[in-house]
Structure 1
Amino acid sequence: MKACRRCDHVFSSDGWTCPACGYGPARLDGIDAHAAEVAHEGGGFKPEYFAELARSEAANFWFKARNALILWALRRYSPDAQHFLEVGCGTGFVLSGIAGALPGMALSGSEIFLAGLSHAAQRVPSARFMQMDARHVPFVEEFDAVGAFDVLEHIAEDEAVLAQLHKALKPGGVLLLSVPQHPWLWSASDEYACHVRRYTRLDIETKVRAAGFSLLRSTSFVTSLLPAMVLSRALQKRRPSTFDPAAELNVHVVLNQIFYAAMKIELAGIRWGLNYPVGGSRLIVAEKR
């Protein structure tokens, strides 16, 4: 079901024109824009970052390992899902992985910035894309599964976003989240990435439950690389003038392979049922009550 942003009327239709008030989203660059006023200069990120991300994601150990973890979680906890929405899909790297592994699934992606959607539409031509503010999701009980991967930390109103994701899911639908973890890891990298916060386990789990979800799985990941992260953050604080924002994307090829192998071992542990207590990021899987 769709929800009109102007009058909140809920309706079922192939198109977006509200039958109650006649409102419909703008069209920008061939894409439905539900929050056109922030399509070029919304908050929480910088549109000029998308081009660098699109160049680096496919080879970078962290993005590859996170994709493998997301795909496993989707298959494990929502095996019958037919309709999936990724909120804050960026350049479409996650959706491209899902499309390749689960070609029968109907995929939708949303992003506040049109700059990201131009890359995503090229990567996953089979998906449906829309420009959207995650604080105002125009769907009601529409999707079997919804994902938001490293999105919530960019948005001050994270609890409002979780409530919107809950609304967009069908009863019994599954929410998948990844967020950066441990406030004590805060550094120039977070500031460069336009993060509002890093989460504690208790913080993110409490907010997910308060939004109406039951937790199915909560585990840290990037656990084996936590010492390297701590060292990197310490060096950033000691020598802020040497901070290179591109360094975490363009890792030396040998280190990249070593780090990827370490995270594959972590993923094997998660598949076996291990929930790691610490790590640079946290995976949350929850069900709509």
Structure 2
Amino acid sequence: MSPDAYLQMAATETTHWWFRARRDILRALLVGLGLPAGARILEIGSGTGGNLGMLEAFGAVSALEMDDTARAIANRRTGWRFDIRAGRCPDDVPFGDQRFDLICFFDCLEHIEDDAAALRRVSDYLAPGGAIVVTVPAYQWLWSAHDTFLHHYRRYDRAALERCARAADCMIVRSSYFNTLLFPLAVVARTVDRLLNRARSSGDALGPRAVNAALYRIFRTERGWLPKHSLPFGVSLFAVLTKRSEPR
């Protein structure tokens, strides 16, 4: 991601409807995983730290972040209480012989050129019975200025994510699209952005307070459905993966 993208994330991730509702949905999904008490958790690509507090409710959290500025912001915001290490996936994952019950790629995998290599590398850090939770942007045909600004390599559908998992010697236990209720609005917004040749997505800004609150309420309603059910389409896609083979 560009420096501007990290600064925008830092400025909006506590208040923007998308970040807030996604955290609510992820929290509900993680509750449904039945993690062990005091689970060992690793977030890959933790950015400016917006998910770390949510993850802390489930156990001891470590993180990997390549950007110095993002790490500094995350450490400052969280009072340095998390083990946030410098590194880059898949080439530099500096956690030695540590093993984790949960490894998270929250809208991170699309930033990595060799996504299968990243999953394969990180899966070696799974404890027996551990899981990887991935969220990614859905549908390549929804590509917009937002993806370019964030330095995405791709968007995914279920088949593409399944191919990536197989190449990484992982298995998808379950998956679903989400951000479904706002999907029509997103399609219209991305189409308008392309027609007007906007350099930045119209959804990047925080927007008026009432609109932000309304979008948050709509998006977060999916948290009651997704832990046990799937949605057929959406702006995003999540998957729960396990390692297919024994540790090498």
Question: TM-score w.r.t. structure 1 length?
Answer: 0.78
Residues 52-107 of structure 1, C-alpha deviations (whole Å, 9 max, x = no match): 211111111111111112222222214205210101000000012222x34xx211
Measure, in 1, the Cα distance between the counterparts of 2:128 and 2:183.
37
Q: Does 1:251 align with 2:179?
A: no
User: Which of 234, 237, 260 is the equivalent residue of 2:191?
Assistant: 234
Shift of 1:246: 7.0
CA contact (8 A) 2:170 2:241 kept: yes
Q: Which residue of 2 aligns with 1:157?
A: 114
Other structure's SS at 2:41 match: strand
Q: Which residue of 2 aligns with 1:72?
A: 28
Residues 127-165 of structure 1, C-alpha deviations (whole Å, 9 max, x = no match): 101101111223456111100111111111111101011
Q: Which residue of 1 aligns with 2:85?
A: 130
User: Which of 133, 142, 149 is the equivalent residue of 1:192?
Assistant: 149
Other structure's SS at 1:270 match: coil
Q: Which residue of 2 aligns with 1:21?
A: none
Q: Which residue of 2 aligns with 1:208?
A: 165
Letter in 2 for 1:122: R
Q: Which residue of 1 aligns with 2:45?
A: 88
CA contact (8 A) 1:221 1:283 kept: yes
CA contact (8 A) 1:92 1:119 kept: yes
CA contact (8 A) 1:78 1:145 kept: no
User: Which of 249, 259, 264 is the equivalent residue of 2:220?
Assistant: 264
Measure, in 2, the Cα distance between the counterparts of 1:247 and 1:187.
11
User: Which of 106, 118, 131 is the equivalent residue of 2:60?
Assistant: 106
Structure of larger gyration radius:
1
Q: Which has the higher contact order (CA 8 A, sep 6+)?
A: 2
Q: Does 1:281 align with 2:236?
A: yes
CA contact (8 A) 1:153 1:196 kept: yes
Measure, in 2, the Cα distance between the counterparts of 1:225 and 1:253.
18
Measure, in 2, the Cα distance between the counterparts of 1:226 and 1:237.
17
Measure, in 2, the Cα distance between the counterparts of 1:255 and 1:180.
22
* Equivalenced residues, count: 240
Moved more, 154-163 or 202-211: 202-211
Moved more, 124-133 or 202-211: 202-211
Measure, in 2, the Cα distance between the counterparts of 1:246 and 1:134.
30
* RMSD between aligned residues: 1.7
Percent identical pairs in the alignment equals 30
Other structure's SS at 2:217 match: helix
Measure, in 2, the Cα distance between the counterparts of 1:186 and 1:113.
24
Letter in 2 for 1:251: G
Letter in 2 for 1:186: W
CA contact (8 A) 1:170 1:288 kept: no
Measure, in 1, the Cα distance between the counterparts of 2:137 and 2:170.
20
Residues 48/234 of structure 1: CA separation in 2 closer, same or farther (3 Å cut): closer
Measure, in 2, the Cα distance between the counterparts of 1:244 and 1:252.
18
Shift of 1:260: 1.2
Other structure's SS at 2:181 match: coil
Other structure's SS at 1:164 match: helix
Q: Does 1:173 align with 2:130?
A: yes
Shift of 1:248: 2.1
User: Which of 73, 91, 96 is the equivalent residue of 1:119?
Assistant: 73
Other structure's SS at 2:151 match: coil
Shift of 1:245: 4.5
